Amino acid sequence: MTITPPTTPAVLAGTAVGALAEEALLSPKPGLVDRRGGGAHDDMDLPLLLASAEALRPAFERIAYVSAGATTDVGLREELGRVGREGERAMTRATGGVNTHRGALWALGLLVAAVAGGAGDERAAARGAAGLAALPDRRAPEETRSHGERAMSRYGSPGARGEATAAFPHVIEVALPRLRHSRAAGFAEEAARLDALLAVMSLLDDTCVLHRGGLDGLRAVQAGAALVLAEGGAGSARGREALMALDGLLRERRLSPGGSGDLLAAALFLDMVPWPGGPARAGQEVRPRRSARPAQEVLSCRR
């Protein structure tokens, strides 16, 4: 099968880069890099994240190209792994070695592949990504375990591989419904996207948070995010007050829900894909300005 406009490899790559940029620009995100600065991080800022997103454009385009018309098998999975490793090297060159979008490359790469392979809607894309994630990559080199992998082992979190092989439940069943619920309630797009992020934060066993703060830190993140939503969400006065209090707590404790941020980017990607016969989506491709390890199957502690 040959994909045709608007889902060409270039369009899909632009949509993936745009989703990463939209997630980075969204403010105020508790503990995460945004327009205000580095959040709970000393080694990242917004220009760095935007440069990282742009550096991944060729990898996303190549992923879409090789996936179009391809059979979902080990051969495709291994080729996607090779392209992902090239993409990660490009990312680290752009960031000076800082791990910015490792987990997002895994999640969005799978979803780009599924859409390019013929998925006609977001649920089909999630199922297609799950099929790819379940296949082995025999070419992947052995590596030292990442922070996320160690958190997975210690706390029993499913991590990004579990999220992907389960067809992205926190994206399909949590982030996207909350995004659309808040839009339908009349909230501005920024508030709707923040609510989607908070909904994921309230439920996800985020390995980035577990790595930095253990179970106590995870409980604080989940409870704080749930409180913001209970107070009316980011678009209400009481919800915004609770959001800023949560942001202060996460900054003070150096807790960064980077896994939740990656899944928000995945949700924004699916929301922005020009599905056949679908409505125009909020948010368009963003071309960020450039500023001055193989892709792992874990939620990257990149923030």
Average pLDDT along the chain: 87
pLDDT tens for each residue of 240-268: 999 999 999 999 999 999 999 999 999 99
pTM listed for this prediction: 0.88
Residue 284 banded pLDDT, cuts 50, 70, 90: very low
pLDDT tens for each residue of 66-86: 999 899 999 999 999 999 999
Total H helices, total E strands in the chain: 14, 0
Please give the pLDDT value at position 39.
Answer: 84
Please give the pLDDT value at position 1.
Answer: 43
pLDDT tens for each residue of 39-51: 888 888 999 999 9
What percentage of the chain reaches a pLDDT higher than 90?
73
Domain regions of the chain by residue span: 9-272
Residue 276 banded pLDDT, cuts 50, 70, 90: confident
Answer whether 201's CB lies under 8 Å from 174's CB: no
Q: Is 70 exposed, middle or buried (0-12, 13-18, 19+ CB in 10 A)?
A: middle
Size (the chain), residues: 303
Please give the pLDDT value at position 278.
Answer: 66
Q: Which residues of 214-253 are buried (b: 16+ CB within 10 A; e: fewer)?
A: eeebbebbbebbbbbbebbbbbbeebbebbeebbebbbeb
d(CA 231, CA 7): 39
Over residues 2-15, the mean pLDDT reads: 78
Question: CB-based contacts of 303: which residues, under 8 Å, 6+ apart?
Answer: 31, 32, 33, 39, 40, 41, 44, 208, 256, 257, 258, 261
